[in-house]
Amino acid sequence: MQYAIIFFTSFALFFSFSARSEDKIEGQEEAVLTDAPEVPAPISRKHPTKVIVHLETKEVRKRMADGVDYTFWTFGGSVPGKFIRVREGDLVEFHLQNHPSSKMPHNIDLHAVTGPGGGAASSFTAPGHSSTFSFKTLNPGLYVYHCATAPVGMHIGNGMYGLILVEPKDGLPKVDREYYVMQGEFYTKGKNGEPGLQPFSMEKALKEQPDYVVFNGAVGAMTGDKALKAKVGEKIRLYVGNGGPNLVSSFHLIGEIFDKVYIDGGTKSINENVQTTLVPAGGSTIVDFKVDVPGTFIIVDHSIFRTFNKGSLGMLKVEGPEDKSLYSGKISDEVYLPEGSTIQTVDDVAPPKSVAKSKAERLTHGKRIYENNCMACHQAGGTGLAGAFPPLAKSDYLNADKKRAIQIVTGGKSGEITVNGVKFNGVMPAQQLSAEDVANVLTYVYSLGGNAGFEVTPADVKSERSKLKK
């Protein structure tokens, strides 16, 4: 009996001790905060800790689009605000510092907080002041934070939002790269593209008619040199947020499929094989996907006018070897002419601008057509560009066969060719020119230094074109 009691108490002790050590806050650390598209490194810690966050609100003039500036209100100096990464069970000691140059008081409502206002009331901070409050991260997930100072819509509409990730105790599955992407829309006095410093338009915000819908705070924030990068075979994770203030995003990656979507940024409901996922205003999602083929993949809000007319377009550049068994690229382009239909010739669609009455006129018209249609690739004077575009001046290939030249201009050309002993292997697109224009441009090309000086007539072009269609 006595043994049994001793055994039972030690058993209970053991349990309460181990439970406590799991949840006990050990030590403290300063949070590493990052600007989009970077994400702080995953947490390797196996225990909760006290995490100290210093976040500064600042009103800054920055680029919205080329030639267009905006006074953004920010968490940390840019839109979206700094990415915060903590672990489930951590105690976050939050210091909100409002820069002395601010014109407005600001605060923060973190959707990860269990407590009134998500911290808003406790963090209301006048310019040149700093507020402190703390909270325990009870629920894992990806959460939006934003300013909640009146007028709330205006503070959010000026860019005051960001993401905080509360990693589950056991972490998230490992991936090769993680990025931070956050959508938001802006309402400006001037219409899209109107240059200068644009003020906020309350009228358009009320009507929910933004001039700009962007990822990471500006048109082109994730394009060209600033595109997200990856290598073939890697697993990518995007932490996606939507600051709104009004629009819901139809988040989509052209040419990829999300292998996993953590719906609404939660940790329980994971959907698989998703094309487009909704990200509500003030909400988030986490998407995982493996990149299998190289290329530039376009990140969009599939409410598509926003993408091509208002700015919500980003890029993911994937480098690595092609895999033609997964994606072939264009294999062929042939004439498609169902029985009974008539051919609409280029002459119907694009009639010649002017008809030449002599070879001399052909040459003047031809030069103009050359400058508008060919020079970008074949260069002024037809010199070509080493490694890319074959020369047209003094070209043995051109002079060898007039009919072939007509076919190339009207039908395009791909595959390897040798010009003056040098190999080229590019793609020349078929030129949408009338027979008259093709005749003029080729007559001009044949007149370039070192060439045969042939005259090409519209009749020659029509005859070659009819062969092309068979």
- Positions of E strands within 79-234: 84-87, 91-98, 109-110, 130-136, 141-146, 161-167, 177-186, 196-198, 212-215, 228-231
Closest CA to 359 of 370, 371, 367, 348: 367
**How many whole angstroms separate alpha carbon 439 and alpha carbon 131?**
76
Q: How many CB atoms lie within 10 A of CB 421?
A: 6
The CB-of-228 to ligand HEC minimum distance in angstroms stands at 28
Q: Which stretch binds ligand HEC (CB under 6 A): 107-115, 195-203, 261-269, 421-429?
A: 421-429
129-148 footprint of Cu ion as x/- string (CB under 5 A): ------------------x-
Task: Check residue 446 for interaction with ligand HEC (CB under 6 A).
Answer: no
With beta carbons less than 8 A apart as the criterion, state whether 51 and 31 touch: yes
The CB-of-376 to Cu ion minimum distance in angstroms stands at 48
Closest CA to 118 of 133, 100, 102: 133
Task: Check residue 431 for interaction with ligand HEC (CB under 6 A).
Answer: yes
**How many whole angstroms separate alpha carbon 323 and alpha carbon 273?**
21
**How many whole angstroms separate alpha carbon 359 and alpha carbon 366?**
10
The CB-of-204 to ligand HEC minimum distance in angstroms stands at 40
**How many whole angstroms separate alpha carbon 429 and alpha carbon 422?**
21
Q: Choose which of 426, 430, 455, 457 interacts with ligand HEC (CB under 6 A).
A: 426
Q: How is residue 115 annotated by DSSP?
A: S
Spatial neighbors of 205 by CB under 8 A, at least 6 apart, are 153, 154, 157, 187, 245, 246
Q: Choose which of 209, 418, 425, 432 interacts with ligand HEC (CB under 6 A).
A: 425
Is 149 or 192 the residue whose CB approaches Cu ion more closely? 149
Which partner in ligand HEC, Cu ion, none is near 392 (CB below 5 to 8 A by kind)? Answer: ligand HEC
The CB-of-147 to Cu ion minimum distance in angstroms stands at 3
- The three-class DSSP label of residue 69 is strand
Task: Check residue 406 for interaction with ligand HEC (CB under 6 A).
Answer: no
Per 3-state DSSP, the chain is made up of helix, strand and coil in percentages (nearest 5) of 25, 30, 45
**How many whole angstroms separate alpha carbon 265 and alpha carbon 274?**
15
Which partner in ligand HEC, Cu ion, none is near 160 (CB below 5 to 8 A by kind)? Answer: Cu ion
323-362 footprint of ligand HEC as x/- string (CB under 6 A): ----------------------------------------
Q: Choose which of 96, 419, 448, 456 interacts with ligand HEC (CB under 6 A).
A: 419
Task: Check residue 160 for interaction with Cu ion (CB under 5 A).
Answer: yes
Task: Check residue 430 for interaction with ligand HEC (CB under 6 A).
Answer: no
Find the binding residues for Cu ion in span 57-116 (CB under 5 A): 106
Token output for 456: 């090409």
With beta carbons less than 8 A apart as the criterion, state whether 109 and 76 touch: no
Which partner in ligand HEC, Cu ion, none is near 424 (CB below 5 to 8 A by kind)? Answer: ligand HEC
Q: Which residue has the tokens 């062969």?
A: 467
The binding site for Cu ion (CB under 5 A) comprises 106, 147, 149, 155, 160
The binding site for ligand HEC (CB under 6 A) comprises 373-374, 376-378, 389-392, 395, 397-398, 405, 408-409, 413-415, 417, 419, 424-429, 431, 441, 445
